[in-house]
Amino acid sequence: MTELHPDLRENVRMLGELLGQSIRRYPGQDCYELIEEIRAAAKSDRRQESGSGQRLVNLLGKLSDDELLPVTRAFNQFLNLANLAEQYHGIRRKRGHQSDLMVESLGEVFDRLKTGGVSPEELHQRVADLRIEFVLTAHPTEVARRTLIMKYDEMSDCLAQLDHDDLMPAESEEIASRLSQLVTEAWHTDEIRHERPTAVDEAKWGFAVIENSLWQALPQFLRSLDISLQDATGKGLPLRASPIRIASWMGGDRDGNPNVTHKVTRKVFLLGRWMAADLYLRDIQSLRAELSMWQASDELKAVAGDSREPYRHVLAELRDRLIKTRDWAEASVNGESADVTGILFENEDFTGPLELCYRSLVESGLETIANGPLLDTIRRAHTFGLPLIRLDIRQEASRHAEAVAEMVEYLGLGDYLSWTEQERQDFLVQELQGRRPLIPRNWEPSESVGEVLATCEVVARQTPQALGSYVISMASKPSDVLSVILLLRESGMKYPMRVVPLFETLDDLRGAPESMAALYEVEWYREYCQGRQEVMIGYSDSSKDAGQLMAAWAQYQAQEKLTHVANQYGVHLTLFHGRGGTVGRGGGPANRAILSQPPGSVNGSFRITEQGEMIRFKFGLPRLAVQSLTLYTTAVIEATLAPPPKPEDSWRETMDWLTERSLKAYRDVVRDNPDFVPYFRQVTPEQALGKLALGSRPARRKATGGVESLRAIPWIFAWTQMRLMLPSWLGSDVALEEAARDNRLPVLRDMMQGWPFFRTYVDMLEMVLAKADLRIASYYEQTLLDDDKLKALGESLRKRLQGCIQRLLELKEQTQLLEGEPVFAHSMRVRNPYTDPLHYLQAELLKRDRESEGKGEVPELVERALKVTMAGISAGMRNTG
């Protein structure tokens, strides 16, 4: 049995002891002894294979209301500290230490590609043209408060300092003392938000990720990429190359979120410019201290005049303009009038003087100085730009159709919504080709249409560098895209913005290739998009709609066909992957997911959403961010230059056979069983999730409705909390069972061996099944269900889960789950004694919560403890939704 790495185990032990010391100092000495007794009971119950958890249940059942909160908080806090230790372990640099999470280096991947026949010229060209864009989203899955995240980050710094072998005893004591203080501060800090963040708060959090991590990490990574490319091809990264870009939905995603208005979006654009000016100002002031030399090119002297320190002269002008820009942005955010004279608005106004200094240093023989901090700032300028982040706008297709329809009706041109698709297209193209304005001067639109148009006006005032994509959810026809372009143009847009249809449900995915072919057939649009198109693939809703296995296959086929259609029309396609953190939302190890995409679909460009707690896990610390950027970049380059082979026809037929069965089995339960929704509502904490102030967006698209109206995140969150993990395996159980009965397991093993897509799917299924827990799911049912029909449904689902586990073990020819992932398996075992009490407490607290609601009032201690259990289980599972 693989144990945790000794260094990791030591850090987990140390942090746990420091937490224990903090708890001992908590008012009431009995608290610590009680917590230790509960932990010991959880461990003991786990050791007994068939143990019912009865000893633990009995202990927890005796807790008074006053004891509930400190006990839940203690287990929650330990799980957060364990996560912190694991996260740091992945990036630690202690001498002689090999991290279990080390990623393959850029140089190793470049060498493998060259050995495989890729020429240095092609490798250099592909890397120079690379476009990888991370889209930070405001999806509400980050449970931890910002104030605690900052404390955890400083704890990581302390662990890094303690790793040095040359510390004096006094230095070690000082660092250890600070670490103890931070753990104590965290223990005495409320871990639950009591007010929902606004959309602007979310955007500020996204900016903080850039300020605290990516601002340092990005130039470090690009320097590494430059050196590796130079070693592999003889040429480094071009000065203006920006292979990595950062975009955001925070403050731009209005789909189902009434709190994101045009005023919010405008404020976020301005805040981004304020933050960028402030960050660049620090860079410029530092560069002025560095660039004191007098040798300069004639080009620079012509700008600097007879200044003895020409670089400082040029940088002083930039400094003054950045101060003006920051002051203008701050005043604008506050609604005050501001002087725009001399502000930096277009990227070239900023990058031009920097590149002038760079060229002058190189020409003067000072290339070593040119390639120092100045180059880092130039790289930042080309990546982040003056807007800091590229803001995506997302809106639902019917809102644009409604806006066009109101205009058309006002002008007396007919009923747009009743027109055929061809009639709509003809009208839209005719208007796009014309020169007269469509929006009537004195027209007063309805409130909802006015908001759409006001958003378009805010977008139209931005520079191209400030904008990501305009994403249209529920898009299915060319008119959905053309109407957005028309509304933007009518609002004053002067250049072509990327307009991106989002295909989410099973039917949408199946219809996507035909929809895009129809759009490419529009000659006007082909000229507009200039040979480049982005299409977004939604993972969450397709999985909720059809089950994980069917959704994964539909996504794969849609990408294949979309790539083929784009090639037919000579269009370079970028697929935008709307993945979440969990397997049920398309999550999982990023490099394996990218390398299992259909051949040709990753063609030097890749766009992906990063959300909630996954932003922290991947980009929360500078060294962690460098590692994540390396991992994504190597995978995209390899998938571009050495894509996986096409699947064999017999494998496709097998996938069709499997998914036909999985889809029916999934929908028979989720859609057609009348007991399913009541079971879901009663056995999971779904109804209580709204009490966690996670994000600015409502948990439901509609105030009423069943599972179909529930957002994918709370849907996954709820099942994860009670450990049935249903969305990720339901349907696959029947497919694997019938495959075994039909003697198809040998074929499935061949598919695992030769087809990365299928192997990745099976590995992700195994990971989810390892997180499932039959005993805990059963306890939730015993505690929360009274109806015998619902209990019977629960029992049948648990039997199906057990059957799915057995079939997967048979398929992989293993005796237990995660045989090939021993470190992950051990990490789960370490967490179980801390998550188990939270599960049992949560079930009991849900029962008390519901009983109290029936009486009219829920005790505050019960409500707070319930919220803490949700946060703690999320930490223990390493994800929420």
Under 8 Å between Cβ of 340 and 328: yes
Distance CA 376, CA 384 (A): 12
Burial class, 131, CB count within 10 angstroms (exposed 0-12 / middle 13-18 / buried 19+): middle
Q: What residues contact 768, with CB distance under 8 A and at least 6 apart?
A: 583, 584, 725, 728, 729
Place of tokens 């449900």: 505
Of 75, 188, 72, 141, residue with least CA distance to 867 = 72
Distance CA 554, CA 545 (A): 12
Q: Which residues pair with 134 in a beta bridge?
A: 246, 608
Distance CA 807, CA 821 (A): 18
Place of tokens 């990971």: 767
Of 759, 537, 547, residue with least CA distance to 651 = 759
Burial class, 345, CB count within 10 angstroms (exposed 0-12 / middle 13-18 / buried 19+): middle
- Helices 788-812 and 774-784 pack at an angle, to 10 degrees, of 170
Separation in Å, CA 17 to CA 24, 32, 36, 90, 132: 10, 11, 12, 22, 42
66 alpha carbon, distance to own chain's centre: 37
Name the token pair of 731. 């349907």
- Helices 120-128 and 622-641 pack at an angle, to 10 degrees, of 130
Separation in Å, CA 323 to CA 207, 276, 318, 343, 551: 19, 11, 9, 8, 50
- 139, 262, 267, 382: which one is catalytic? 139
Q: Three-state SS for 380?
A: helix
- Determine whether 847 is an active site residue: no
DSSP E strand stretches across 140-212: none
Length, in residues, of the chain: 881
Q: Which amino acid is at 274?
A: W
Name the token pair of 122. 């092609």
Of 729, 823, 758, 760, residue with least CA distance to 591 = 760
Q: Three-state SS for 586?
A: coil
Distance CA 776, CA 685 (A): 14
Q: Return the DSSP state at 2.
A: P
Distance CA 711, CA 545 (A): 11
Q: Three-state SS for 193?
A: coil
Q: In b/e form, how buried is each residue of 582-613, taking b as 16+ CB within 10 angstroms?
A: bbbbbbbebbebbbbbbebbbbbbbbbbbbbb
Place of tokens 């000495």: 29
- Radius of gyration (C-alpha) of the chain in whole angstroms: 28
H helix intervals, 703-821: 712-721, 726-729, 732-741, 745-754, 756-771, 774-784, 788-812
- 204, 267, 382, 544: which one is catalytic? 544
Q: Which residues pair with 467 in a beta bridge?
A: 391
- Determine whether 5 is an active site residue: no
Catalytic residues: 139, 544
